[in-house]
Amino acid sequence: MLTSQYLFAACQAGAQNALKQEVEFRAPEWRLSFSRPGFVTFKAPGPVSLASEEIPRMTFARTRGLSLGKATGTDQLDELVGQVWASEQVQQLVAEHAPLAVHVWRRDEVVPGADGFEPGRDELSAMVRAALCAAAPEGALHNPQTPPSEGAVLDVALVAPNEWWLGAHLMKSRVDRWPGGVPNLKLPEDAVSRAYLKIEEALRWAALPTHAGDVWVEIGCAPGGASQALLERGMGVIGVDPADVDPLLDEHPDFMHLKMRAGDVRRKEFEPARWLACDVNAAPQYTLDAVEPIVSHREVSIRGMILTLKLPDWSLAEPAALDAIVKRVKGWGYKDVRLRQLAFNRRELCLAALRSRGQRRLRR
């Protein structure tokens, strides 16, 4: 059976230390092995199998799995591809789990949104993937045009042009199906702000059972990218922000702008809303203080939330600090509370909350 004592995780560039802290807390027996911005490996005390549940999901790990060595020593595409298929561990993965899916991604070198950078598919990863597929042994891979939703994945992380780290994971949930843990999203040309990408990713990850016709309240809605995405999905939005919103929103029949701070809104204005998003440019404590009186009000009935928690200071990312946030939100009656640093988050993370886990959309 394929095993490895090494585990890999992909994260945001700069989030390695937060991820290491999280590992120390959730898997204290693992030791840091290799670390670059956006890509880290750890050594477990003993061999870990692909099906093992020993690799916990982590807030700062976009994707993670067994590390299976690397292809290196040249920047010639064909030679690196040859090394991948010649790897004994990859051959064992194929023998035990074919047909495989292949995820190729480039590690993030800068924070998403900086210098126009967005994580996800790019020309280099597409070219490497095509070359790997073309050279794959017969029967090793799924038809690349029809990616499967279950089974094993061969991970190829392009850490440097001449250094590809190989790995494997099983697809058990949505995020496991996204190469490098990044959903396939592009910012539309008419997007009002990057927050469009964040809410789209949050909705895909969190599996909230929200549909066209639902009403959302968005605290901190200006200039309006997130509300724009919700409106495009056919939802109604009550946007709260003292700042101006883009005319695209102002003119939308399903958008209502309450041009004030959240604390100044009369609670009855929130009555039609069943969902709440909050993205204010302040520390997590301020965000929670703004949201709590709304969701705890007896005339307001919010089923679920997407909160952006800013991390102006990395100490806010310490596991104990994050656990305290989760505990506080659970205290408002939301039993299903999860945290993830989304691929399209900047120095911030996303909290998704539902009244109960049973409410999540079924297909994982």
> Which residues of the shown chain bind ligand SAM in the complex (CB under 6 A)?
193, 195, 219-226, 240-243, 261-262, 279-282, 290
Closest distance to ligand SAM from the beta carbon of 185 (Å): 15
Closest distance to ligand SAM from the beta carbon of 38 (Å): 23
Rounded CA separation 165/260 (Å): 49
Pick 89 or 193: Cβ nearer ligand SAM:
193
CA distance readout (Å), 91 to 77, 94, 176:
19, 5, 21
Pick 117 or 286: Cβ nearer ligand SAM:
286
Rounded CA separation 223/243 (Å): 8
Pick 222 or 354: Cβ nearer ligand SAM:
222
For β-strands 163-171 and 151-160, DSSP reports them as antiparallel
Pick 131 or 283: Cβ nearer ligand SAM:
283
Closest distance to ligand SAM from the beta carbon of 223 (Å): 5
The four Cα atoms 333, 337, 343, 345 give a dihedral, to 10 degrees, of 40
Closest distance to ligand SAM from the beta carbon of 74 (Å): 44
Q: Are 278 and 241 in contact (CB under 8 A)?
A: no
Closest distance to ligand SAM from the beta carbon of 315 (Å): 21
Pick 18 or 262: Cβ nearer ligand SAM:
262
Collapsing DSSP to helix, strand or coil, 337 comes out as: strand
Question: Rounded to a whole number, what is the distance in angstroms from the first to the last CA of the chain?
Answer: 26
Max CA pair span of the chain: 66
Rounded CA separation 200/215 (Å): 16
Give the up-direction half-sphere exposure of residue 327: CA atoms within 13 A in the CB hemisphere.
6
Closest distance to ligand SAM from the beta carbon of 231 (Å): 11
Closest distance to ligand SAM from the beta carbon of 239 (Å): 9
In DSSP terms, which residues pair with 34 in a beta bridge?
Answer: 41
Write the DSSP assignment of 265-331 as a string of letters: S-GGGGTT-SEEEE--SS-HHHHHHHHHHHHT-TT----EEEEEEE-SSGGGGSHHHHHHHHHHHHT
Closest distance to ligand SAM from the beta carbon of 85 (Å): 44
Closest distance to ligand SAM from the beta carbon of 244 (Å): 9
Query: Taking the alpha carbons of 129, 131, 134, 136 in that order, is the dihedral positive or negative?
Result: negative
Pick 69 or 113: Cβ nearer ligand SAM:
113
Pick 242 or 358: Cβ nearer ligand SAM:
242
For residue 106, the 8-state DSSP code is E
Rounded CA separation 139/271 (Å): 56
Closest distance to ligand SAM from the beta carbon of 243 (Å): 4
Pick 84 or 226: Cβ nearer ligand SAM:
226
Q: Are 48 and 3 in contact (CB under 8 A)?
A: yes
Collapsing DSSP to helix, strand or coil, 107 comes out as: coil
Pick 126 or 282: Cβ nearer ligand SAM:
282
Q: Closest Cα to residue 104, out of 173, 50, 182?
A: 182
Pick 132 or 231: Cβ nearer ligand SAM:
231
